[in-house]
């Protein structure tokens, strides 16, 4: 379980996160949605130890993330950030191989190589494995980074807008993959995303953030209410049921 307790952060006196409290139980897929500037990515950065909070703490199965050794955390928690670019001359396989670093410290053994191949296959990258990253399209590069996160083989995975740059086929593919990883491998996955409809269709729970706070954390059926969503996004939104799915229209 990831427990976020009283996390606050301000930039130059402007609060970005205000005493955020959140419990992500083990297992399942949770979507984190909310308008721009709600603090979703910032919260993910704090959980991922990239930013340090002004106050509060985050624990993972009781382990304080700010205190624990980095390598220990990296074997249990993987984070995919929004913009991933590197100047280094890497092939897809090289990049995915870095996912094994917390386990192998760069000395890849047979088990690591198998994990890398599996991750490449999951994301349909086997044919592109030996291409350099700068020879790929944005969507392919995004998939390569997701493959690296998968190769890290952690119980907990945080993804910051993984569907960016992806076409419908690959977006659906990634979401299916995320659900499969949660269902079959028992992974706990939190995904920041903008598409409410995908969130409602693919996730067991939805966390709604606004103005630096978590304002709701519930099942899709409870979140997908026209009045509530209209208020969150300050835009008229209708919710309709189509073939036992709830769709938000805007």
Chain residues binding another protein by CB under 8 A are 48-50, 69-75, 78-79, 81, 84-91, 93-94, 98-99, 101-102, 105-107, 130, 132, 152
Could you give the CA distance from residue 168 to residue 148 in angstroms, rounded to a whole number?
Answer: 21
Least distance in Å: CB of 68 to another protein?
10
Could you give the CA distance from residue 38 to residue 213 in angstroms, rounded to a whole number?
Answer: 7
Kindly provide the b/e burial profile for residues 83-116, where b requires at least 16 CB atoms within 10 angstroms of the residue's own CB. Answer: eeeeeeebbbbbbbbbbbbbbeeeeeeeebeebb
Least distance in Å: CB of 173 to another protein?
23
Could you give the CA distance from residue 154 to residue 100 in angstroms, rounded to a whole number?
Answer: 10
Least distance in Å: CB of 220 to another protein?
29
Q: Which is nearer to another protein, 99 or 220 (CB)?
A: 99
Least distance in Å: CB of 135 to another protein?
10
Our CA angle for 127, 131, 134, nearest 5°, is 135
Q: Which is nearer to another protein, 12 or 234 (CB)?
A: 12
Q: Which is nearer to another protein, 131 or 179 (CB)?
A: 131
Furthest C-alpha separation in the chain: 55
Q: Which is nearer to another protein, 61 or 72 (CB)?
A: 72
């Amino acid at each position: 379980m990831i427990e976020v307790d009283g996390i606050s952060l301000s930039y130059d006196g402007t609060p970005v996160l205000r005493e955020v409290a959140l419990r992500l139980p083990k297992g399942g897929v949770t979507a984190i949605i909310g308008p721009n500037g709600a603090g979703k990515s910032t919260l993910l950065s704090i959980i991922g130890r990239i930013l340090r909070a002004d106050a509060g703490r985050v624990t993972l199965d009781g382990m304080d993330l700010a205190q624990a050794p980095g390598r220990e955390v990296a074997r249990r928690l993987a984070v995919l950030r929004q913009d991933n670019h590197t100047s280094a001359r890497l092939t897809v396989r090289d990049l995915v191989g870095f996912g094994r670093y917390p386990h192998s410290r760069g000395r890849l053994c047979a088990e690591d190589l198998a994990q890398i191949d599996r991750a490449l296959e999951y994301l349909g990258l086997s044919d592109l494995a030996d291409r350099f990253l700068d020879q790929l399209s944005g969507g392919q590069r995004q998939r390569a980074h997701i493959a690296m996160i998968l190769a890290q083989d952690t119980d907990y995975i945080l993804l910051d807008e993984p569907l960016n740059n992806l076409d419908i086929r690959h977006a659906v593919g990634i979401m299916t993959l995320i659900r499969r990883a949660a269902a079959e491998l028992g992974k706990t996955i939190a995904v920041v995303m903008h598409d409410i409809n995908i969130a409602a269709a693919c996730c067991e729970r939805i966390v709604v953030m606004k103005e630096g706070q978590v304002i709701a954390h519930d099942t899709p059926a409870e979140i997908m209410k026209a009045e509530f969503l209209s208020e969150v996004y300050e835009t008229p939104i209708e919710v309709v049921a189509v073939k036992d799915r709830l769709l938000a229209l805007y």
